[in-house]
Amino acid sequence: MTIRKIKSLLEADVLCGEEHLDEDVNYAFSSDMMSDVLAYAEEQSLLLTSLCNPQVIRTAEMLDILCIVFVRGKYPDPNMLKLAEDRGIVILATSRGMFTTCGLLYSNGLLGGA
């Protein structure tokens, strides 16, 4: 599924990385615990989280995660966006909750990682 389709399904705002919206992701992983992300998430996937701190970007960088979706109306600060942009990570934000977000993606064919 392309990041562009994910953006559309979730009615999400693109906060950075718009030039990468046509890239494909095959898996999604949702967690607010970055230790779980490191242990179980697939590389080159999508991360869904409501945790809004720089460790999210650092964790995504370690796993070559292509896109992070912040749920529940969370928005990263400008320093986080700069960090993500420097690393080519797409940042999306949606007002939808984690459960709804995961359900929408799964029901549209995006598989869960781990």
- Residue 81 near residue 87 (C-beta atoms within 8 A): no
**Residue 11: left (phi > 0), alpha (psi -120 to 50), or beta?**
left
* pLDDT value for 114: 61
The CATH number assigned to the domain holding 82 equals 3.40.1390.20
Predicted confidence (pLDDT) at residue 113 exceeds the cutoff of 80: no
Q: What is the pLDDT of residues 69-98, one digit of tens each?
A: 999 999 999 999 999 999 999 999 999 999
Number of folded domains that form the chain: 1
* pLDDT value for 88: 96
* pLDDT value for 33: 96
- What is the phi/psi pair of residue 46, to 5°? -110, 135
Q: What is the pLDDT of residues 15-70, one digit of tens each?
A: 999 999 999 999 999 999 999 999 999 888 999 999 999 999 999 999 999 999 99
* pLDDT value for 42: 86
Range of the domain at 84: 3-112
> What is the C-alpha separation between 77 and 4, in angstroms, rounded?
22
